[in-house]
Structure 1
Amino acid sequence: MNAATLPIISLTSLDSDEGLAQLRRAASEVGFFYLIDHGLSDDAQQEYLALSRAFFQLPAEEKQRVDMIHSPHFRGYNAMGNEMTAGRLDAREQFDWMNEELALSAEQLNHPWQKLIGPNLWPSAMPILKPALTTLQNKLSDITVNLLQRLCESLGVDGHALDHTIGTQPYTHAKLIRYPAQASPQQGVGAHKDPGYLTLVMQDAQSGLKVERGDAWVGVPPIAGALVVNIGELLELASNGYLKATNHKVESPIQSAERYSIAFFMAAQLSATVPVLSLPPELKSRALGPSVDPSNPLMTDVGNNVLKGRLRSHPHVTRKHYCDEPLRHLLAKSFAHMPTADICDECRL
């Protein structure tokens, strides 16, 4: 087993005050931790990672049939060089899926984030993928909802304090990710924070994930059976900055085995507005407000906070599906405080 560089939290320990205190320290001091005893066995994780490898080994023409360019909802396949982080192209290919829903008509759109609602794209050449990933999505959703409630308890508030923002099902977004080996150091995915409540990451045996701690980047080596958890921007907002969304990145493997991972992002419903929790005095005094980054303003309205990241990460999809009227007008209203080039460099909102 690799040595842990982050706190290790057992989900089954969170019935105790000591376990909740450990969780609170990990989430507030680091923003990242390993999660064990979560109910998804290492064997099951390896099966999902094997399924991911099988998808990426499909012929290019089969993957292109479900290319994200065909989805105004940012679902489907991205080839190398089709996603950006921090303004630079990432050296990875991936497959994205989210909640399976019916798309709204143009007449039904009152907010630009409503265009995120829609169906996934599934490859006909691999029919097993949809049921398998839908099952995984449900399992990881249950883990994150449980963990979010425990985090609320660890902050001294009711464990169900954020349940109303989730409703019957949280908004979820997941990715199968392949990082091909590179001849020289490359940005697998650039430094960033995640926009939702919580992120779970399933890693294969290849390292590459790094977390910012102080002035250094700390590696997060895979530990068999453990999921890596990080705090997202919405939870930083809800805790008034007591819990921190932490910068992280992935460096591509160099002249070695490829890296495969599965990332799962859980957030409140897109229609929700995240409240600021009423923390007890001893924690409230240490909650100094969320981080301020002019290039990445945080928004308490969930839909816009999520859409902001999608528009920036996938400019080719943005240009095709978000530059027509009246959507341009809705975007201009929702993101009036952001530089227009950050939304669409060609439309100049």
Structure 2
Amino acid sequence: MAASSVARREPPESCRHTSAIPHLDLRRLDAGPAERAVFLAELRDAARDVGFFHLTGHGIALAEIAQVQALARRFFALSLPEKQAVAMVRSPHFRGYTAAGREITRGAPDWREQFDIGAERVTLSPSAASPPWARLQGPNQWPVGLPELRIGLLRWQEAVTQLGLRLLRAFALALGQPEDVFAPIYAGAPNQHIKIIRYPGREATQGEQGVGAHKDSGFLTLLVQDEQSGLEVEGPDGWIAAEPVEGSFVVNIGELLELASNGYLRATIHRVVTPPAGLDRLSVAFFLGARHDATVPLLELPADLAAEARGPASDPDNPLFHEVGRNYLKGRLRSHPDVAARFYGDLAETGAA
């Protein structure tokens, strides 16, 4: 794909040092050509140098954020039998409730309870020729005792999807590409994944791993936090706290942008530390990815950016695949071995995973 020129400048101090998470205001994207160019340069620098940033000016009202947080609290307040009735282990599509200690990161349990949904799509009819990832598509599970959850989370999913796609177009421009360069691999059926999460206090856990150190697999992650800190980002000199900022999203890039940019952008390792005793932490995460049937392109970056591309990071224990569905399914199987054993046992036997 032909690359256009990209304005280059020294990043501002807020994006150049790595002792804090940068702050970006999305309203600057539409504040005229000069301000737009500066914003795109800062966006690119923040994603490359830290990999995370706080986003304000995104157009989603504080009331909407408070509403989805309140819904999440109401879900976690349901009785254990009500939550277990929609347990993820009942879903071949990896949708539903997971109790604390049941998801695995880097071989260790994550001490958080959570509820996962995706786009409401029909289950694909299986055949001998179907790729393994085709089983990922299907309906969500919803708790009978909280019908408002379905309405609220699907409304939230639509709002953050539009925000995520706007940011993705901005990243394309920041990399010297047409703004719709990624549309061929998400149009029609982007991977939309919401995870509402509650981290119990340390008195209720068996360790400090709220979620272990990892990277995200999609294009972008947009996270809403409550007032309790815990998210940490790996920096060159140690872990950087992504402290909560009211009304903002914490945004980070995933492995799809790392692959597409040949490592010019780098998905950053991050983790969540268990809250202190007597406290808990609530977050609402949205993961935007490509269609499962897509293959990640390698962009032709402008010469100055291409010269700084480091190649995608290689982890022998977690290889990256350009085939989107294969890469996503790999992560799901590793994180949820109970679901893998129940619905994907044949893949372990054939090596198809």
Aligned letter for 1:241? G
Distance 2:107 2:128 in 1: 32
Distance 1:156 1:223 in 2: 31
| Partner residue of 2:179 out of 159, 167, 184 | 159
Runs of 4 or more, structure 1, over 3 Å off, are none
| Partner residue of 1:234 out of 256, 278, 296 | 256
Runs (5+) with no aligned partner, structure 1: 336-349
Question: 1:344 maps to what in 2?
Answer: none
- Post-superposition CA distance 1:122-166 (Å, at most 9, x none): 011100010110000000000110000000101111111111111
Contact 2:111 2:207 in 1 (8 A): no
Distance 1:305 1:83 in 2: 18
| Partner residue of 1:256 out of 248, 262, 278 | 278
Alignment of 1:1-349 (within 5 A): 5-15=20-30, 16-107=36-127, 110-183=130-203, 185-324=207-346, 327-328=347-348, 332-333=351-352, 335=353
Distance 2:189 2:159 in 1: 12
Give the secondary structure class of the aligned counterpart of 1:262. strand
Contact 1:200 1:227 in 2 (8 A): yes
Post-superposition shift, 1:234? 0.6
Contact 1:109 1:115 in 2 (8 A): no
Aligned letter for 2:100? M
Q: TM (normalized to structure 2)?
A: 0.90
Aligned letter for 2:173? E
Distance 1:105 1:328 in 2: 21
Post-superposition shift, 1:297? 0.6
Q: TM (normalized to structure 1)?
A: 0.91
Percent identity between the aligned chains? 47
Distance 2:330 2:253 in 1: 18
Post-superposition shift, 1:299? 0.7
What is the root-mean-square deviation of aligned Cα atoms in Å? 1.4
Give the secondary structure class of the aligned counterpart of 2:210. strand
Aligned letter for 2:329? L
Give the secondary structure class of the aligned counterpart of 2:317. coil
- Post-superposition CA distance 1:201-242 (Å, at most 9, x none): 100000000000113001111001000000100100000000
Distance 2:129 2:104 in 1: 27
Question: 2:15 maps to what in 1?
Answer: none
The structure-2 alpha-carbon separation of the partners of 1:77 and 1:5, relative to structure 1 and needing over 3 Å to count, comes to same
Distance 1:17 1:182 in 2: 45
Distance 2:210 2:83 in 1: 20
Contact 2:253 2:266 in 1 (8 A): yes
Distance 1:25 1:81 in 2: 36
Distance 2:281 2:348 in 1: 38
